[in-house]
Structure 1
Amino acid sequence: MKKISVLIIMLLVISACAPSYDKQEEVVEETKDDTQQQTAIVPSYNISNENYKVLLPYEPSEARGIIVNQMANRLDIDEFEEGLRRQSKEIFKPSNYYFQEGQYLGEDTVLNWLGRTMTDKQVDDYLSENKDLYKNDAEKQELKESLQIGLNPPIAEDELKEEDFRESPKYLSHILEQNFLKKGANDAVKLGGISIGLAMKSTYRFQTEIGGPYYYEDIPKADMLTEGKKIAEKIVDRLRQMDNLGDVPIMIGLYREEEQSAIVPGNFVAKTTVAGDKNSIGEWEPINEEYVLYPSNELKDKYFDDNESLKEFEQQVRKYFPNYVGVIGKAFYVNGNLQRLTIDLPIEFYGKAEVIGFTQYVYGLVMETFKNYFDLEVNIMSNDKQEALIVRKAGESEPYVYVYDQ
């Protein structure tokens, strides 16, 4: 009888602690064409106050997925998306806004905008050869504007030479849209802000003929910024002409990509915000962020103390396991201050006990070597699989440790 009573009590406790899905908040979401409304669910819990809540059901962007064909470095793709969200938090606070993938720039729009605009001669030639496509001057003008929708600079198509591409590189790689929704009266949720990320090349790779060799042209940061700001002005003008975007605050961030073979991503270099009652861009704010690799001369020259800490850490690892491959560190800085450090330790193990012992040793090194004012992540790997993870958030005294059971 006592066993039954205990079981009943346990069931009551479990049911009391179980999530109550019928108490989830429901809101009314206005669609982008403003002609319909749909019920959306606000998750009861959030991973942290630093993250946006996302309405359910999840609304993917119409341009979702095309980024993988526009940006050559996988690290850039991840940082571009996450970095834009991070920059947006200063304008659209997670406590006041919900996050949604971009709903206004579809796949065709993005791809057309990423193309080159036509030269005046190319436009005139096209219009002369295709008079059946327009009936009057108004239609002719509309067609002309559609031919010049590309945001990358024009280039002549007759007998192209290597110099032509070098003098007129493609600066813009990708356009990323993120939406931020805000709840108003009667639980109605509507668009409260939009962020646009412009991925700009640091190196232009091109061919002068199909199947020919690839050439490379470095793009100075100053040139990239100049072109990026011109492109941003055009995008703001186009967004303001779209339904429901005439008076919505717009944040635009310029992201400078790393080269294709880089093992650290690029970073955002500038941003600006256009208020809801403005139609043009005012001042730009420089962004001082960067990823720096360890080991590298750049880290040694710019952040000597951090380099020495990593060097000491590596030396201590070598004492325990002299045949390890080497420490690979990726440090993220904002305004010269270390914000996040990721360390990869690729080592070959021959048993779980060895993994546990090594992880315990590295745990102690983390406690002794690194201060706790930045986020720290240590990945212990063997044969391309994760063996253990050590994580410490900024401000925490002790790390979290997890050994994978594989």
Structure 2
Amino acid sequence: MKKTTTQSDLLNMLKKYSADKATASERTFVEYYYDFFDQLNGDLIGFTPAERENLEGEMENWLLTQINAQKLPLAETKIRKKNLWPYLAVAATLVLMTVTGILYRRQHQPNDKIYKLTLINDVRPGTDIAILTLSNGKKISLEDAKRGQVARQAGIEITKTKDGQLVYKAIGKKNEDYPMLYNTVETPKGGQHQLILPDGTKVWLNASSSLKYPIRFAKKERTVQLTGEGYFEVAKDKTRLFKVFSAGQSVEVHGTHFNVFAYADEQFSRTTLLEGSISVSSQYNKTEHHFLTPGQQAIVNEKQFEVEEVDVNSIVDWKNGYFIFKEDNIHTIMRKLARWYNIDIDYAGNLDDLNFSGKVSRSKNISEILKVLSLTGDVKFKVTGRRVTVML
């Protein structure tokens, strides 16, 4: 009689692999399924305890059935041995997320409903795309520009590095009287870009954003104008404040790390501090301003100016290559996806009360993001061309 593989056997298999004592067939199993553990670490949407228990039981039954039926596929590529100990807890519950169409179900809902994504075509994620507009109006595609010097203006050399960053460097005489010239970097929907300003400040621009700045800062202050979203690591300069003007607010710093979220289609402008200190002022009420400490966020619009504690990792998720949702409303989520994937959104039904939590890589196609959201069973999606319809 064929021996039945148990959960304990699977744990022992992982331990043997980690100790380099696994058999050839055991190595094949671990290497094939390792990617599923890796995906789970970032992509599994949050379930309630009851839903997770149901899911764990379902996936355990499926996996053991595959093993006992000897249906495990062979590994097609050599995978470097990895330290699996952080994943033993995952293996213990056997919660696997595959990319081969395994469907999750909520067992407590009637008719054993399966949640689907209607996919006529897929949409690839955004990439490093931006347009540089020089002071004379000339536009340069930074995606197409070759590495090296891109332009030269008023004693400033503008170059593109091998990793695509735009860098400003003074090459003229310090005491020379140069005119105040401005450049603008603009990212379209589906684009992002990183640049280093003349003072050494690093700026990351999210999709559908723009930054206007002088190619040589003034002697008394450093001022830029932002639309959309940008993350700043401001070079320290005790003699000159760094100011960021955006929708309805201004931010003043000497040298620190912070994120500004100020899209025209959002209800609020949000400034989040990660390091150092900043002052945020409302442009609607000149007497209102707040000093932030790390982990705080200023929320500003015409009628409101509040400060609250936030999870900074979920604020700068885009800079680190992820979408992190923390009980975010479906409309907020879809606006983020629309900017990054350059898609249009339609809604069918009243979806105002739908909130989601989870973490997904921004490098995935739109289908993978929507699959994760649809696992809850609360929402469906249809993708046609560059249009996504969200349905109940």
- TM-score, normalised on structure 1? 0.26
Computing the radius of gyration from Cα coordinates, the structure with the larger value is: 1
Between Structure 1 and Structure 2, the one with more strand by share is 2
More RCO (CA 8 Å, sep 6+): 2
